Amino acid sequence: MEAVLNSPASDARAQSFEIRPFDGAVGAEIVGLDLAQPVSTEDFQRVHRAHLEHHVLVFRDQHITPAQQVDFSRRFGPLQIHVLHQFALPDHPEVLIVSNIRENGQPIGLGDAGHFWHSDISYVDKPSLGSFLHAQELPEEGGDTLFANQHTAYDALPAELRKAIAPLRAEHSYLAKYEELRSRSPWRPKLSQEQIDQVRPVVHPVVRTHPESGRKALFVSEHFTTRIVDVPEDESRQILAELFDLSTRPEHVYRHVWQARDMVFWDNRAVMHVAAGTPDHLRRKLYRTTIEGDAPF
């Protein structure tokens, strides 16, 4: 599948920028590309190839508007609107506010996003291709994000386990941990019936094939995966517990320490992520856009 070129860029001038791979499980930083300027087709395709190769891209020092973030994100495909629409940025429903800030006694965004390891929006028929997260306000300490490479996690599985899980399918549900998270945070809203209807459970392969690279990756998470279907409950729990442990071992993980105006773009078909947490008294605000992907196979 080729990335979608939805924004006209034929007249854009090429920019000079570097792609610097991280020395670790995943990731690269992009230095010198200004996303506030039109991105040429050639530069866009270079970014696209880097995203497939490194799975997590860190665009440094991006002084862009939410509209510019939306426009660049949309070049990879249609955008998904989060079910918690009350935390969408006014005038930009495609942008989810991720923040622990409260104004007039109310949260301005989703403050406990990423508490458990997960792949974004795996609980719909067409899970996310990838997510962009742009730093608006960062705490003086904490607030890191961890990414786990699910290709290398799959490759490292014992051969017998890889064979056993090859035909398996698992249920994903947005509601799996929702009430637990609400009990931890009084600021997480109660879902309306309309919202619940938008996130009915779906079933996906335990091992998915990346639609662009062809590589296999684990596709289960402690946040959204509830059970493996068509196997006994105790066996399902045992398999999932083992996969959850193996998928996030340190050798597969990159820890992102945010810098001012970073924008991070990760491949939800290749990695999982989790938030390391922010002290309650420190402010953190980021803007997220999420790109629709394909039905996993």
37 CB-near residues (< 8 Å, 6+ apart): 12, 15
Contact 120, 108 (CB under 8 A): no
CA distances from 89 to 58, 86, 102, 125, 288 (A): 22, 8, 15, 25, 10
Residue 7 has pLDDT above 60, yes or no: no
> Residue 34 and residue 61: Cα distance in Å, rounded?
8
The pair of three-digit structure tokens given for residue 256, joined into one six-digit string: 């992102």
> Residue 282 and residue 142: Cα distance in Å, rounded?
9
* pLDDT digit string, tens, across residues 18-56: 999 999 899 999 999 999 999 999 999 999 999 999 999
* pLDDT digit string, tens, across residues 90-112: 999 999 999 999 999 889 999 88
Q: How confident is the model at residue 6 (pLDDT cuts 50, 70, 90)?
A: low
pLDDT at res. 293:
97
183 CB-near residues (< 8 Å, 6+ apart): none
- Is 210 part of the annotated catalytic residue set? no
pLDDT at res. 8:
52
- Is 273 part of the annotated catalytic residue set? yes
Which is nearest to 207 in space by CA: 183, 225, 181?
225
Supply the DSSP string of 65-130, one letter for each residue: -HHHHHHHHHTTSPBPPPS-GGGEETTEEEEEEEE--EETTEESSBTTTTSS-B-TTTTSSS-EEE
* pLDDT digit string, tens, across residues 253-293: 999 999 999 999 999 999 999 999 899 899 999 999 999 99
* Residue % of the chain over a pLDDT of 90: 86
* pLDDT digit string, tens, across residues 56-98: 999 999 999 999 999 999 999 999 999 999 999 999 999 999 9
* pLDDT digit string, tens, across residues 160-198: 999 999 999 999 999 999 899 888 877 788 899 999 999
pLDDT (mean) for 234-240: 97
Q: Angle 88-190-169 (CA atoms, 0-180°, nearest 5)?
A: 85
Identify the active-site residue in 51, 204, 210, 273.
273
Provide Rg for the chain, Cα atoms.
19
> Residue 38 and residue 71: Cα distance in Å, rounded?
10
Residue 1 has pLDDT above 50, yes or no: no
pLDDT at res. 11:
67
Secondary structure letter of residue 274 according to DSSP: E
pLDDT at res. 266:
98
Secondary structure letter of residue 196 according to DSSP: H
Tell which wins on pLDDT, 180 or 206: 206
Q: How confident is the model at residue 10 (pLDDT cuts 50, 70, 90)?
A: low
Residue 9 has pLDDT above 80, yes or no: no
pLDDT at res. 272:
98
Q: Indicate left, alpha or beta for 104 from its phi (over 0: left) and psi (-120 to 50: alpha).
A: left
- Is 118 part of the annotated catalytic residue set? yes
Q: How confident is the model at residue 113 (pLDDT cuts 50, 70, 90)?
A: confident
The length of the chain is 297
Identify the active-site residue in 118, 188, 208, 252.
118
Q: Taking the model in full, what pTM does it have?
A: 0.93
Q: How confident is the model at residue 12 (pLDDT cuts 50, 70, 90)?
A: confident
pLDDT at res. 131:
98
Residue 2 has pLDDT above 70, yes or no: no
* pLDDT digit string, tens, across residues 120-145: 999 999 999 999 999 999 999 999 99
Contact 291, 80 (CB under 8 A): yes
Between β-strands 28-31 and 92-99, what pairing exists: parallel, antiparallel or unpaired? unpaired
Burial of 185 (0-12, 13-18, 19+ CB in 10 A): middle
Identify the active-site residue in 54, 115, 208, 288.
288
pLDDT at res. 184:
82
Identify the active-site residue in 112, 120, 262, 267.
120
